[in-house]
Amino acid sequence: MNQTIVGPIRVPTPPSPPLPRSFSPPPPGKHISKPVEIAPTSRAKRKHQFELIIEIPAKRFKPSRYPESVSSSTGAATASSSRTGLISSTKRAKAPPIAQSGIRKPTLPSFRVKLDPKIRDVAVSREFLKAHFGANKLLPFSKPTKRQVDNHGYDHFAFVHEFKVPQVPSVPGGPGLVAHLGQKRWPKRGLYRIFTRVATNPARWQYMGLYKATELPAWSPSEVRQQRPAVKNGWAGTLRKAPWARSILSRMMLRPKLGREPTKDEVEAQVQKLREKSITLPSLDFITAALERGEEKLYPWKLECKDYETDLQREIALTYPYFKKDKA
């Protein structure tokens, strides 16, 4: 008796056609849409490993995170984006020029920075710098902890803006001129990573480079009088409120009353009254007039850029779009 077998019929697959003689397999990497560049950055060298530097495709982010266009002449973005950190040229704070002939100007060459403007001009918040590098978000000078420095390799940070400063570094690598009064001077150490405030509301800070600060002779009364009102009023407001300036303010208040230089005991007694808030504070005009007469010396410091860490700015530009704590 014959048996009938019921089941799927398997049809053999026809052989593939032979490849033409001119065919050659693609070289390694050609099948990747965008090649990956492996760059041994300075941070990677410290960690004894390589870092992958790759351009992130725009489709992974919202279009609002990227600037619409970038000016080829100035390198500043024509559209502001709070996520990438690129600040519009119309919203950037313009550094006030030093036009007075009687004021010493920083005659220093600018350090040439070779970096793509879309990366170089990224400005971030101090909240980001605190979270990512451990820099204090309030003090003008900041040094992260040893553990943080061992992690990222960047130690000293300094933050400057146009308030109380004759000339801030307005472009990466550019010179600057700051002023300090009495005991509040620029710390005497090596190089500082200077960040300049380039935008307000919200405040954004841009990395300018590694700077060396050199103290100059004190300003003469005529040089103080020729300073911008923002510089003089800024220092007057600081002297009126800062706890460290009570001894300076006490000397200013006692000189007109005594007609001479006050003694150490008289200054200490006046400081105690200021601490207890038992006397009225002088006006800003009174303090400004004392500075213009040269009763207390203002010491200028010139800022010279010695180096620019491109790895630091690249890290800032690549990681800032992921920072979600900025409400602005």
What DSSP letter does each residue of 64-109 carry, written as one string?
A: GGS-S-B-TTT--BSS--TTT-BPBTTTSPPPPP---TTS-----P
Give the type of residue at 73.
Answer: S
Please give the Cα distance from 131 to 36 (Å, whole number).
28
Please give the Cα distance from 265 to 279 (Å, whole number).
17
Residue 157 — φ and ψ, nearest 5°?
Answer: -125, 145
Give me the residue spans of the domains in the chain: 58-176+184-219+303-322, 221-296
Please give the Cα distance from 215 to 177 (Å, whole number).
10
Please give the Cα distance from 216 to 128 (Å, whole number).
34
Coil vs helix vs strand at 45: helix
Q: CB within 8 A of 40, min separation 6: which ones?
A: 50, 51
Return per-residue pLDDT of the chain as tens, 328 residues. Answer: 555 555 555 556 566 666 556 556 555 554 444 444 445 555 544 544 434 333 333 333 333 333 333 333 333 333 345 556 666 554 555 544 443 434 455 567 788 999 999 999 999 999 999 988 888 887 888 888 888 888 888 888 989 887 777 888 889 999 998 888 865 566 666 789 999 998 888 889 999 999 998 888 888 999 999 988 888 888 899 899 889 889 999 999 999 999 999 999 999 999 999 999 889 999 999 999 999 999 998 888 889 999 999 999 999 999 998 887 765 4
Q: CB within 8 A of 93, min separation 6: which ones?
A: 161, 162, 197, 198, 199, 200
Please give the Cα distance from 226 to 250 (Å, whole number).
25
H or E segment and range at residue 304: strand 298-307
